[in-house]
């Protein structure tokens, strides 16, 4: 036989050769599927698959000379068949002939591709002339689906089929009776039709009606793959271009000899790490198979119900062996005795992987229900997985997750390996993140991605909720009307989020001071109720490190702190530093584990405080003087409103201030946390609009400030203006009358200004420092027989102070030159420098002759009693 003779039994011989070499199964047959090569069942295909295939080389006349049979299961090997003519040649001649045949095959492939391109180009021109399909087409009416953008030619529906996100390949024609044909000689491998939707999840099915029903049931992007033979190609193409979860919607061909639909769907799902959906039917008398059949028989709602858990599972990226059943997370395990199922924990659903704005600090967003069926959504930092198991288990258990302690290793294994498709942006601090305000349990505002609070230290306290907004308005905010200090405190609670709207605004706070119980703590509790529970207030007695963490957790909100006086008693030096730290908005600089500088924690907030001592007294007890910037950030307001009712001016029908305060205290512990969220929703929906209104309202308040006021007064007035404007902007939430916040805050501003004076801080501070020292030590440090070190001589009307005592004792840390200048300007010294005075019985000495009239100026603040006399030799 020469090389040109055709061997008609070539296919039979190659298949038998494959069987003889355990490549093909004994019952294998060659099948001409919609693939490049004839396929067959290989020796490892236990469920009727077609993993085996053959490749052919033939001459110009189509006579076969070389065939190779192999399988996608490469371990089975391969066999080669040669024609008798090819066998008759020498080895060298065979190689030359094979090269010739391969070149010929390559030319054929090129010609085929050119012909396909021409046919597809012509088809594309034809499609341009077609109109949109009518929703009244008999096929669409029969299938009860919309047209979803397909075309129509005469009475035929035309479905354009393209590569996924690529060029046109072919088109399917659908007759009114459901008959389907393709346009000739265009091919169809990898062709699909996309019904666009929410592309966070993608569903792939066979026919148009199937994916149309899925689209209408779910709203997700749905893709038609034509048939089960093309399902794998389309799924692979989709996966190459997206990481979105994929659900393969199977045609359940169980009424046929071979369930090709389910088998192909399973293979496709495995290849793309997707999930598979197989519809289930209550009535199978009509032998239904696909998702459209389910929608027709039992409704789109039922189709959606069956699809949802499969889609959810696909989005979770559940590791192999784990699954959910009857409200539990379970795991399949195999032992020598067989397979069994272990219950690990109550159902713990992975929602998304989280990461911060730098794509660091990755975490896992988990959702589960506690025993009361209250749903928890919790972001667990993945860094917890490298710590002790308790770092993972404790926060879950504390939120109500049930788990078998003997299965804790399996639970942590699940959390460590699960890879949900969803993404969330994690934030480790409450406050604004773009247009979203992040709270420990929710993010308020619109965002292109999910934003969630995530922290190793857990959710901070202070953001709880109880009661309704209407109850809070009736039982708390309505009682503030007519009470300036209450208006100030509650309005301040709304000011924190507004700092974001104007970057020139500074953090800072207000301190309500009185020497006795006059309702100070009541006012603080009302302020706290805007954001959360007022049952327990943070106190200044906490360590500076503790308050640093609390301040960080109240970023862009309000920090309420009580008992300033107690901290002053415990450690006045630390107290002064802590007050400055809170107002300054930055933590202490520390070293990290490697010895470098740790990242500073910063915050931006409004704080309110109460206590028996002022900031100036506190700072002096700590050995410091109040600087002008500190005074501006810590505004000291007298608690007494001057109506004989302590802090109150209006009792709203209650018999006395004590009864009124008791009711307010009780109400603040019952109704809380709703007002801030309502206000945040308003601001987040229109930050630009609120920024404009804030500017206008602040300007309205600042017009009330005395003309020519000192610069420090104007800076302080700016914070009063911020709070007044915040109260007005929150009037829809508080229910206050228009202008009530402006009025109440102005009363507090006037009280602060009257007590402070309209001069500069430095001038007031200089006079108060000297006056305080003279009042305290005037009798014991001056005269002929002083009780302790001598500061100078006291005449009938004046204090003649020695220069060294003036610098070290009277000025007490202040610049003595500036103090002397101020005293001279105010008329308490004849000159800003020491002068010569003759002292009886002594020679002339240089002294500062301070007029005794200084003691009659405005009453000084009560000064602390030092344990030791502040005297420097």
562-573 per-position pLDDT tens digit: 877 666 566 666
Phi and psi torsions of 801, nearest 5°: -105, 130
Q: Whole-angstrom Cα distance, residue 398 to residue 66?
A: 70
In the prediction, which pLDDT does 861 show? Answer: 39
**Residue 762: pLDDT band with limits 50, 70, 90:** low
CA distances from 25 to 19, 41, 45, 257, 365 (A): 6, 6, 8, 18, 48
CA distances from 778 to 388, 770, 809, 811, 823 (A): 64, 11, 12, 14, 17
Give the model's confidence band at 813: pLDDT under 50 very low, under 70 low, under 90 confident, else very high. Answer: confident
pLDDT in tens, 774-786: 888 887 888 766 6
Average pLDDT over residues 115-121: 89
Coil, helix or strand at residue 668: helix
Question: pLDDT at position 763, please?
Answer: 74
pLDDT-based confidence at residue 473 (cuts at 50, 70, 90): very high
Q: Return the closest-CA partner of residue 38 out of 12, 16, 58, 56.
A: 56
Q: 828-851 pLDDT, tens per residue?
A: 999 888 888 887 667 788 999 999
Cα of 449 vs its chain's centroid, Å: 8
Gap between the Cα atoms of 527 and 485, Å rounded: 11
Q: What is the pLDDT of residues 144-163, one digit of tens each?
A: 999 999 999 999 999 999 99
* Whether the Cβ atoms of residue 582 and residue 607 lie closer than 8 Å to each other: yes
Asked which of 185-189, 493-497, 543-547 is least confident by mean pLDDT, the reply is 543-547
The predicted-structure confidence for 215-225, as pLDDT tens digits, reads as follows 999 999 999 99
Tell me how far apart the alpha carbons of residues 605 and 585 are, in angstroms, rounded to a whole number.
8
Phi, psi of 437 (to 5 degrees): -100, 120
| Residue owning tokens 């390996």 | 417
The answer to whether 523 and 758 are in contact (CB under 8 A) is: no
Q: Indicate if the pLDDT at residue 754 is higher than 80.
A: yes
| Buried/exposed 623-650: b ≥16 CB within 10 Å, e otherwise | ebbbebbbbbbbbbbbbbbeeebbbbbb
The answer, yes or no, to whether residue 818 has pLDDT greater than 80, is yes
Q: Which residue has the tokens 């008693």?
A: 569
Domain range summary for the chain, segments of one domain joined by +: 10-107, 130-316, 323-424, 470-644+655-756, 761-856
Q: Is pLDDT at 623 greater than 60 in this prediction? A: no
- Residue 63 confidence class, pLDDT cut points 50, 70, 90: confident
What integer pLDDT is reported at residue 867 of this predicted model?
A: 33
pLDDT digits (tens, 9 = 90+) for 685-724: 999 999 999 999 999 999 988 887 777 888 899 999 999 9
**Is residue 245's pLDDT more than 50?**
yes
Task: Enter the tokens of residue 204.
Answer: 């792939």
- How deeply is 787 buried, as exposed, middle or buried, from its count of CB atoms within 10 A (0-12, 13-18, 19+)? exposed
User: Which residues, 6 or more positions from 340, have their beta carbon under 8 angstroms from its beta carbon?
Assistant: 332, 333
Q: For the CA atoms of 790, 791, 793, 795, what is the dihedral angle to 10 degrees?
A: -130
Distance CA 88, CA 695 (A): 97
**Which pLDDT belongs to residue 295?**
97
Rounded to an integer, the average pLDDT of 506-527 is 87
Question: What is the spatial distance between Cα 554 and Cα 603, in angstroms, rounded to a whole number?
Answer: 8
Count the neighbouring beta carbons within 10 Å of the beta carbon of residue 858. 12
Q: Is the pLDDT of residue 619 over 70?
A: no
The mean per-residue pLDDT over the stretch 298-325 comes to 91
d(CA 332, CA 483): 66
On average, the pLDDT of the chain sits at: 87
Q: CATH classification of 130-316 is 3.40.1360.10, yes or no?
A: yes
pTM over the 0.85 mark: no
pLDDT band of 5, cuts 50, 70, 90: very low
Distance set, CA 375 to CA 53, 369, 372 (Å) = 52, 4, 9
| Alpha-carbon dihedral 3, 6, 8, 13, rounded to 10 degrees | 20
């Amino acid at each position: 036989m020469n090389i040109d003779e055709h061997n008609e039994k070539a296919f039979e011989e190659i298949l038998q050769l494959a069987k003889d070499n355990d490549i093909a199964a004994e019952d294998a047959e060659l099948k001409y599927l919609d693939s490049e090569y004839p396929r067959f069942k290989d020796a490892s295909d236990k469920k009727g698959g077609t993993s085996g295939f053959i490749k052919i080389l033939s001459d110009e006349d189509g006579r076969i000379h070389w065939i190779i049979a192999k399988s996608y299961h490469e371990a089975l090997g391969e066999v080669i068949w040669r024609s008798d003519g090819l066998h008759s040649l020498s080895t060298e001649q065979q190689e030359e002939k094979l090269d010739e045949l391969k070149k010929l095959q390559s030319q054929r492939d090129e010609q085929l591709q050119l012909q396909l391109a021409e046919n597809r180009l012509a088809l594309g021109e034809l499609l341009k002339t077609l109109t949109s399909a009518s929703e009244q087409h008999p096929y669409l009416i029969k299938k009860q689906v919309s047209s979803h953008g397909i075309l129509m030619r005469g009475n035929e529906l035309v479905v354009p089929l393209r590569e996924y996100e690529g060029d046109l390949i072919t088109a399917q024609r659908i007759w009114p009776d459901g008959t389907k044909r393709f346009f000739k000689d265009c091919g169809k491998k990898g062709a699909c039709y996309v019904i666009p939707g929410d592309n966070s999840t993608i569903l792939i099915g066979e026919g148009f009606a199937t994916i149309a029903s899925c689209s209408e049931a779910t709203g997700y992007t749905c893709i038609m793959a034509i048939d089960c033979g093309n399902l794998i190609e389309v799924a692979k193409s989709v996966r190459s271009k997206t990481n979105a979860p994929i659900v393969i919607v199977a045609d359940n061909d169980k009424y046929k000899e071979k369930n090709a639909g389910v088998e192909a769907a399973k293979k496709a799902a495995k290849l793309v790490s997707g999930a598979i959906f197989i519809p289930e039917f209550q009535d199978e008398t009509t032998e239904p198979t696909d998702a459209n059949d389910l929608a027709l028989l039992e409704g789109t709602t039922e189709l959606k119900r069956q699809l949802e858990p499969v889609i959810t599972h696909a989005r979770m990226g559940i590791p192999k062996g784990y699954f959910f059943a009857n409200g539990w997370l379970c795991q399949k395990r195999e032992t020598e005795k067989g397979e069994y199922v272990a219950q690990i924990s109550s159902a713990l659903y992975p929602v998304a992987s989280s990461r911060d704005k730098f794509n660091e600090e990755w975490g896992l967003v988990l959702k589960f229900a506690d025993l009361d069926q209250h749903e928890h959504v919790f972001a667990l930092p993945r860094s917890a997985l490298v710590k002790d198991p308790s770092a993972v288990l404790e926060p879950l258990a504390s939120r109500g997750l049930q788990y078998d302690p003997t299965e804790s290793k399996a639970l942590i294994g699940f959390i460590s390996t699960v890879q949900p498709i969803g993404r969330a942006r994690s934030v480790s601090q409450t406050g604004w993140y773009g247009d979203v305000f992040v709270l420990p349990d929710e993010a308020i505002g619109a965002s292109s991605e999910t934003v969630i609070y995530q922290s190793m230290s857990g959710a901070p306290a202070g953001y709880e909720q109880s009661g309704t907004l209407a109850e809070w308005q009736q039982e708390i905010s309505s009682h503030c009307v007519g009470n300036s200090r209450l208006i100030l405190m509650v309005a301040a609670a709304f000011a924190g989020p507004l700092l974001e709207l104007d970057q020139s605004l500074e953090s800072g706070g207000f301190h309500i001071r009185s020497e006795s119980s006059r309702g100070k703590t009541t006012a603080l509790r009302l302020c706290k109720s805007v954001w959360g529970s007022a049952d327990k207030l943070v106190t200044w007695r906490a360590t500076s490190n503790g308050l640093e963490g609390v301040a960080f957790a109240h970023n862009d909100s309000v920090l309420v702190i009580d008992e300033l006086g107690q901290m002053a008693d415990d450690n006045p030096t630390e107290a002064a530093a802590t007050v400055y730290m809170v107002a300054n908005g930055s933590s202490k600089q520390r070293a990290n584990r490697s010895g470098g500088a740790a990242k500073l924690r910063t915050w931006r907030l409004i704080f309110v405080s109460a206590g028996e001592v002022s900031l100036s007294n506190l700072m002096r007890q700590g050995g410091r003087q109040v600087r002008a910037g500190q005074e501006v950030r810590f505004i000291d307001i007298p608690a007494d409103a001057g109506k004989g009712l302590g802090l109150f001016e209006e009792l709203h029908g209650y018999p006395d201030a004590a009864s009124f305060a008791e009711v307010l205290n009780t109400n603040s512990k019952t109704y809380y946390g709703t007002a801030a969220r309502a206000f945040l929703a308003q601001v987040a929906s229109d930050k630009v609009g609120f920024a404009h209104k804030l500017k206008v309202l602040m300007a309205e308040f600042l017009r009330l400030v005395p003309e020519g006021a000192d610069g420090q007064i104007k800076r302080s007035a700016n914070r009063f203006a911020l709070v007044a404007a915040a109260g007005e902007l929150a009037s829809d939430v508080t229910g206050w009358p228009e202008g009530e916040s402006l009025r109440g805050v102005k009363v507090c501003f006037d009280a602060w200004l009257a007590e402070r004076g309209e001069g500069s801080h430095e001038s007031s501070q200089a006079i108060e420092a000297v006056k305080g020292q003279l009042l305290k030590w005037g009798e014991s440090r001056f005269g002929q027989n002083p009780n302790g070190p001598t500061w100078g001589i006291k005449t009938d009307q004046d204090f003649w102070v020695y220069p060294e005592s003036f610098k070290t004792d009277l000025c007490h840390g202040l610049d003595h030159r500036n103090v002397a200048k101020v005293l001279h300007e105010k008329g308490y010294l004849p000159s800003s420098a020491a002068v010569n005075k003759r002292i009886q019985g002594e020679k002339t000495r240089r002294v500062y002759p301070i007029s005794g009239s200084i003691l009659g100026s405005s009453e000084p603040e009560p000064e602390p009693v030092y344990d030791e006399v502040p005297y420097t030799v």
